[in-house]
Structure 1
Amino acid sequence: MIRTRAVHWRKGVVFALPGLWVAAVLAWELLGPRGTQVIPLLAAAPAIACAGTGRRRCVTLAGVCAVLALVPPPSAGRADTAARLGTCCAVVAVAAAGHCVSGRRRRLLRELERTREIAAAAQQVLLRPLPPRLDGMTLAGGHLSVSEGTLVGGDLYEVLATPYGIRIVIGDVRGHGFSSIGTVAAVLGSFREAAHDEPALPEVLRRLERALQRHLGERGGPERPHSEEFVTVLLLEVRADGVVMALNCGHPWPYRLSGAAAAGGRPRAAAAGGGDPLPPLGLFPLPPELPLARLTRLLPGDALVLHTDGAEDARDAAGAFFPLARTLAEAVRGAPVVPAAVIEHVQDALLRHTGGRLSDDIALLVLRNDSRHAPDRVPRVHLARSGWPRG
């Protein structure tokens, strides 16, 4: 409401400003010393009208100013006819130029608005919104881009319900902004297919590597080597018993977030996983054997917080790094973990910490286990796919 009132107030001021300018010039002409030539200042009125209130008011005001320039009030004294005729011509010229410029400006604004709508639709398809719930999990995702006006930068994430469990990818393309969107599209497109097709998580990663190599090869060519292009990737598989399996290629490990009830009366954010990850995709070929790691086990009410390195690498004006683990614990505040609230709290804290000046894209993803029971046995689909006998 306050913002709407401020917008209306500014529009009213801009609308009245040309008229106030004309009134001030006439008052100066009437009340000023004899021989003062201020009528030429009327030429500025149509320019002000075109800049602030549109084309029709510009033309109307130009006609009024032209008449005032040619027919001054009698009390203004004897005027130089040639000077006043020149002022009238200047008013007409300014009005004509302002009319043309205003028309072009309006066309460009319409084209820009249309371009923004198309870009927003394309970005929503690429980094599509996550469903609020998926197979017993509550989800929330958020993204902060360095490039103003973009929804997608160099970071990517996706969560899918597959026959093999919930599969998740989060990654970070080298660089940020529009230049990395093509690589994001290649990796996400490959994951959305492979996550459903491949029973084993390592094979999903190999599909991502092949898709990335094809994309970089098509984009680079012999005259533009792409040896320095890479993507950090964290692949996760959350099974029905809450066990989280992981493959990490140069990406930050996630945090496990427990509410106050599950953490002995105090919320806790602990790093999940450890050890040395594989190199980022694109730097070196994947090894023959991929180390599939058991990351953690999510109990009912626990959450997993995935992020890109822009979150932990963000600095304030003094050079201090952003305290992500402490901020995650503060986001719970003794209550159950609410993924959307965690995302909002961390993003607000990041913007305050950096003063709104981000140096890298930042993606955040929170998944809370809402299942009432966490069975100990492996789901039947895994037994059938792996060839184990059914018990």
Structure 2
Amino acid sequence: MLLLAVLIIEFSPAHFLFTGPLLSPAPALAAVTMGPAGTGSVVVMAGVVSSITATHNHAWGSQQVYANLLALLVVSVASLVTSIARVRKERELAKVRRISQVSQDVVLHPVPAHLNDVTAAGLYLAAEAGARIGGDLYEVLATPFGIRIIVGDAQGKGLPAVRTAAAVLGAFREAAHYEPELPEVMRRCEAALRRELCRARGDEEAAEPLDPTEQFVTAVLAQVPDTPVIELVSRGHHPPLLLHRGEADALETACPLPPLGLEEFLGSHPMPVQTYPFETGDRLLLYTDGVVEARDPAGNFFDLPTHLAQLSDGSLEKLLDRLRASLLDHTRRSLADDAAMIIIERHLPRESARALS
């Protein structure tokens, strides 16, 4: 459009205007969005337009024409170099994103939509722009003992938090199918975390020692058996929210326990299983601290129970989409921490549903 404007001016009554300085920015503008081929084409077109205007105005031999051509040459070379570098970085970024997506699929499996008489949906929001995975962890599995769910948050950020989350998830995926009791599943996760921390400390022994109190994972385990209840074991995690008849209630743990990795503070205390009613039509939301600790510009926390109660209608996917929109609106799309949410809903068993139909 800029080159066309130059031609129109030169072949119109307004040709007395100096259009030479308008040609130099054309390659630079092209380099912003075009690749080397497109930028090179604009460079050639700018040179052609400059030659046409100089011939039309009988300006060859004047210092103005050669100054304009020199400026066009310098800007063109810089624009081509910039375009090549930008395209190379975009390709590298696309490759990193593909690798990140594969890593996320390995560490965080997609949440299955249907599991026996339970439907589920999940949402993960990374605080870092362009990131797809962090220290938050979750999994939903159908096991011989019922539907089992873990939601947790590894302290810290970056690759150490990802490795910690992967260790806990790997232990859960194995133990959930073989351990009949939830506390034993949690202990298997704790043992895996302990091994990972020992390995990390061994890798860092030449550097500054790791502080054990700064390497931990908060986690909550949930189990949906055949009976209309939900069973929970929590280790320092935020209480799940039970949505029953339009009201959201926090399922507080009667005996708070420290997070995984801080077993020295646990002592000989057992890990009790808390049981709550979970009837047909009830929904349970498990989440990480990035949700409830999200702040608006005024410093106010995100009121998850209120938003959940207000957005309780519709499918699970739509509910999470609305929660996501509310959370991003509350923080002005600037999350300070990763946020993950898992929501499940109990339905009638398939045999009962067939009988009623």
TM-score for both structures, normalised by structure 1? 0.78
Amino acid at match of 1:347: R
Correspondence 1:225-374 to 2 at 5 A: 225-227=210-212, 228-259=214-245, 267-285=246-264, 286-333=266-313, 338-372=315-349
Q: Is the 8 A contact 1:170 1:306 kept in 2?
A: yes
Residues of 2 paired with 1:44 and 1:277: CA distance? 65
The residue number in structure 1 matching 2:355 is: none
SS at 2:295 equivalent: coil
Residues of 1 paired with 2:345 and 2:283: CA distance? 4
Deviation at residue 312 of structure 1 after TM alignment: 2.1
Task: Find out whether 1:120 has 2:101 as its counterpart.
Answer: yes
The residue number in structure 2 matching 1:20 is: 5
Deviation at residue 240 of structure 1 after TM alignment: 1.1
1:133 paired residue among 97, 104, 114: 114
Q: Which has the larger radius of gyration?
A: 1
Amino acid at match of 1:31: F
Percent sequence identity over matched residues? 35
1:315-363 CA-to-partner distances (Å, cap 9, x unmatched) read 2222222222121211225xxx732232222222212222222222221
SS at 2:270 equivalent: coil
Correspondence 1:154-233 to 2 at 5 A: 154-176=135-157, 179-220=160-201, 221-222=204-205, 223=207, 224-227=209-212, 228-233=214-219
Task: Find out whether 1:55 has 2:32 as its counterpart.
Answer: no
Q: Is the 8 A contact 1:160 1:168 kept in 2?
A: yes
Residues of 2 paired with 1:278 and 1:135: CA distance? 31
Moved more, 157-166 or 170-179: 170-179
Change (3 A) 1:81 1:188: same
The residue number in structure 2 matching 1:384 is: none
Equivalences, count: 346
Deviation at residue 127 of structure 1 after TM alignment: 1.0
Deviation at residue 145 of structure 1 after TM alignment: 1.7
Change (3 A) 1:91 1:203: same
SS at 1:30 equivalent: coil
Residues of 1 paired with 2:6 and 2:168: CA distance? 59
Change (3 A) 1:368 1:58: closer
Residues of 1 paired with 2:8 and 2:36: CA distance? 21
Q: Is the 8 A contact 1:173 1:231 kept in 2?
A: yes
Residues of 1 paired with 2:200 and 2:59: CA distance? 74
Deviation at residue 133 of structure 1 after TM alignment: 0.8
TM-score for both structures, normalised by structure 2? 0.85
Deviation at residue 179 of structure 1 after TM alignment: 4.8
SS at 1:363 equivalent: strand
Change (3 A) 1:187 1:28: farther
Residues of 2 paired with 1:299 and 1:67: CA distance? 76
Deviation at residue 49 of structure 1 after TM alignment: 3.0
Structure 2 runs not aligned, ≥5 long: 353-357
Residues of 2 paired with 1:52 and 1:23: CA distance? 25
Residues of 1 paired with 2:134 and 2:94: CA distance? 20
Q: Is the 8 A contact 2:2 2:23 kept in 1?
A: no
Residues of 2 paired with 1:87 and 1:188: CA distance? 64
Amino acid at match of 1:342: L
Change (3 A) 1:28 1:362: farther
Amino acid at match of 1:356: R
SS at 1:197 equivalent: coil
Structure 1 runs not aligned, ≥5 long: 1-15, 260-266, 376-391
1:258-291 CA-to-partner distances (Å, cap 9, x unmatched) read 13xxxxxxx2111223324210111233544523
Residues of 1 paired with 2:291 and 2:351: CA distance? 31
Deviation at residue 42 of structure 1 after TM alignment: 3.0
Residues of 2 paired with 1:249 and 1:116: CA distance? 33
SS at 1:325 equivalent: helix
Amino acid at match of 1:253: P
SS at 2:123 equivalent: strand
Deviation at residue 41 of structure 1 after TM alignment: 4.9
Q: Is the 8 A contact 1:300 1:373 kept in 2?
A: no
SS at 1:106 equivalent: helix
Amino acid at match of 1:239: P
Residues of 2 paired with 1:302 and 1:374: CA distance? 19
Change (3 A) 1:97 1:151: closer
Deviation at residue 257 of structure 1 after TM alignment: 1.0
Deviation at residue 110 of structure 1 after TM alignment: 2.0
Q: Is the 8 A contact 1:273 1:296 kept in 2?
A: no
Amino acid at match of 2:28: A
Q: Is the 8 A contact 2:3 2:49 kept in 1?
A: no
Deviation at residue 105 of structure 1 after TM alignment: 2.3
